[in-house]
Amino acid sequence: MKYILSLCIISAIFASCNEEKEQKTAMKHTPPTAEKIDKNLEMHGDMRVDSYFWLNDRENEEVIDYLERENDYYNKMTAHTDGLKQDLFEEIKSRIKEDDSSVPYFYNGYYYITRFETGNDYPIYSRKKGSLDAEEEILFNVNEMAEGHSYYNLRGINVSPDNRWVAYGVDTVSRRKYTLYIKNLESGEVSSETIPTTTGGSTWANDNKTLFYTRKNEQTLRSNEIFRHERGTDSSNDVKVYEEVDETFSTYVYKTKSDEFLVIGSYSTLTSEFQILKADTPKGTFTVFQPRIRGLEYGISHYGDHFYIVTNKDGATNFKLMKTPETATTSENWEEVIAHRDKVLLEDIDIFKAYLVVSERDNGLNKLRIMSWDGTKDYYLPFDNETYTAYTTQNIEFDTKILRYAYNSLTSPASIVDFDMETQEKEIKKQTEVLGGTFDEANYESKRIWATARDGKKIPVSLVYRKGIKLDGNNPLLQYAYGSYGSTVDPYFSVARLSLLDRGFIYAIAHVRGGQYLGRQWYEDGKLLKKKNTFTDFVDVSKYLIEEQYTSPEHLYASGGSAGGLLMGAVVNMAPELYNGVVAAVPFVDVVTTMLDDSIPLTTGEYDEWGNPNDATYYQYIKSYSPYDNVTAKNYPNMLVTTGLHDSQVQYWEPAKWVAKLRELKTDENILLLHTNMEAGHGGASGRFEAIKEVARDYAFILDREGISK
């Protein structure tokens, strides 16, 4: 026994020495450098010199060569973690039930099901007529459809009212430009008629032959045109029924839950407008519901002979609910149903024949309010902690007393619940299984704490960790945030995150300004000329976590993606000394140049979020925080930056330029890595297991910085 133990110790030491040797070897690799070609960019009398502007050309072979050299450098520098990446991948995958299926939902005579089969990356969409015991009808086996494609995304499945036809969109490049197809569900034949460059979504009129859809501008990818297509005809003959000419707006089309109206929506960050048409008369003319007024936001739902409107009309910052007759839709006819409340954000409504369900947010927490139309019932669903997420889902049927909602928390896997609004009884239809036999939610603890920002505001932070940790400053901690567009990151369960928690990590979600966690004003205080609050909130949360000894600068890590990647870029410029490592995914870091180029996808629609730098005031403010423009000669943390060559949201050249400039100026010897997925875009890989590999890659980078190799 002693001999065997000695061999084990020797083997462990030898393995440790090998890992140390591999790390030292990795450090000897020379990082790639990008050629500097100065380009002068002048605006408002201010001159910026961009030495890496030339990377803005994915057709340039030298650009591709540079990205591939960066990928090669990443591979060499992380070769010693290849085993860890694979272990993490297998570990996370082993917790996921491969032969899984969704909770069936009933709509228009059929139960619809999404399921996965063992070993396959993509879903199978099916339905059963009338009963779950009926024979399964396969709508789409995406695994077969995706064969031969490195990227494949099917979305927008839209079945005609007579259940005979289905329209759907496919993207095989990851630029979010979908081609629409129509399939005959009786014969299984896919029509030869195709409609290119769409959003992937569509809606049928009630005649079962007329399809409305949204086209994108080929260059900017702005959703700007609504077309009417007649099944069986060439799409070149489709009729344009609406064009959104205001470049700060986008448009979309849908049908009300009542199936009575087709609706065209137009929206910008601050303003919305809708047009309606009876779904029985698809060749009629859409009429404006309420003309757009800058700053007026509203959304509409149809019930009976009224429309119900969630709106910020008359200064209702947190929104209120109003209604109006379908024959008199302009705002002077709107009547109040639920008044505005200063501390409660009205997020959405679900309408049923006998009930109205209101989704609210109070002090950051999701609440679901059930109200009967006859006034006899008015109550809230009970939820009993501060780190949960609850939301309504798949409530497509109108004449039902069952509300379907989802619930999960930082320690509890997601559940789908059917709630009887009449009897107030609930049935858990499904709770996500965590396989492997090692997970027990009793082993984990979550809580909400409040950090004080430099201006005195209290910033909520959701934490999760294994029970029994000591607050001695030695805990590794990963801090995450997004903080833009009013998008709220609610506390949610993650099977992948267990791989960090079980290795001693604390995970923190910082609910910074720029999201709507504490209501609409929380968002307003983190945009435009108040955008820096998002960044300082994140930094102040980090300082608080360090002060309270949850962690220390040697063990603190940060991550964020897209606009959250902008947050990462701003934070490492402001307070690089607080972090040992940062993961910035598809980061929006070249803010000034991008916002000055209205040919880039999505730019014009972003002016109300960031400001229009054609205005000198916004130009100077954006320039003062834009990560790329504020890289200086100083020490930066260890950093992993990821992007996709075909990204339509944040163009690949932003992170590529940022990394090139960081390489040029940073004064430390910390690791800086750029990884470009040459076959994907903003959302990364399309298969569910390929996506896990990306998570394993990011986790391996963080664990390696922490000295954890197993």
| Catalytic-labelled residue, pool 171, 540, 629, 647 | 647
Please say whether the beta carbons of 556 and 545 come within 8 A.
yes
Place of tokens 């490049």: 173
Q: What is the pLDDT of residue 219?
A: 82
Sorted by sequence, the CB contacts under 8 Å of residue 65 that are 6+ apart come out as none
Amino acid, res. 374: D
Question: What predicted TM-score, i.e. pTM, was given to this entire model?
Answer: 0.87
Q: What is the pLDDT of residue 174?
A: 80
Give catalytic status of residue 80 as yes or no: no
217 Ramachandran zone, left/alpha/beta (phi>0; psi -120 to 50): beta
| Catalytic-labelled residue, pool 490, 629, 682, 686 | 682
Under-70 pLDDT residues of the chain: 1-27, 601-602, 680-687
Q: In which element (H, E) is residue 288 found?
A: strand 287-288
For the segment 526-568, what is each residue's pLDDT rounded down to a tens digit?
999 999 999 999 999 999 999 999 999 999 999 999 999 999 9
| C-alpha pair distances (Å), 622 with each of 511, 529, 593, 605, 613 | 22, 8, 10, 16, 7
CA dihedral 265, 268, 269, 272 (to 10 degrees): -40
For the segment 286-325, what is each residue's pLDDT rounded down to a tens digit?
999 999 999 999 999 999 999 999 999 999 999 999 999 9
| C-alpha pair distances (Å), 422 with each of 18, 352, 390, 400 | 65, 12, 20, 10
Q: Which residues of 592-605 are buried (b: 16+ CB within 10 A; e: fewer)?
A: bbbbbebebbbbbb
| Catalytic-labelled residue, pool 409, 562, 648, 686 | 562
Q: What is the pLDDT of residue 650?
A: 83
DSSP code at position 515? B
Residue 442 phi/psi, 5° resolution? -70, -15
Amino acid, res. 600: I
What are 79-82's contacts with CB under 8 Å, separation 24+?
79/22, 79/26, 80/19, 80/22, 80/23, 80/25, 80/26, 80/704, 81/700, 81/701, 81/703, 81/704, 81/709
What is the full DSSP assignment across 306-357?
EEEEEE-GGG-TT-EEEEEETT--SGGG-EEEE--BTTEEEEEEEE-SSEEE
Q: What is the pLDDT of residue 684?
A: 54
Q: In which element (H, E) is residue 446 found?
A: strand 444-452
| C-alpha pair distances (Å), 553 with each of 351, 458, 584, 655 | 49, 22, 18, 25
Q: What is the pLDDT of residue 471?
A: 93
Q: What is the pLDDT of residue 404?
A: 96
Query: What are 487's two structure tokens?
Result: 């998008």
Give catalytic status of residue 682 as yes or no: yes
Give catalytic status of residue 331 as yes or no: no
Please say whether the beta carbons of 200 and 178 come within 8 A.
yes
Edge-to-edge strand order for the sheet containing 105-107?
105-107, 110-115, 124-129, 136-141
Q: What is the pLDDT of residue 19?
A: 46
Please say whether the beta carbons of 581 and 557 come within 8 A.
yes
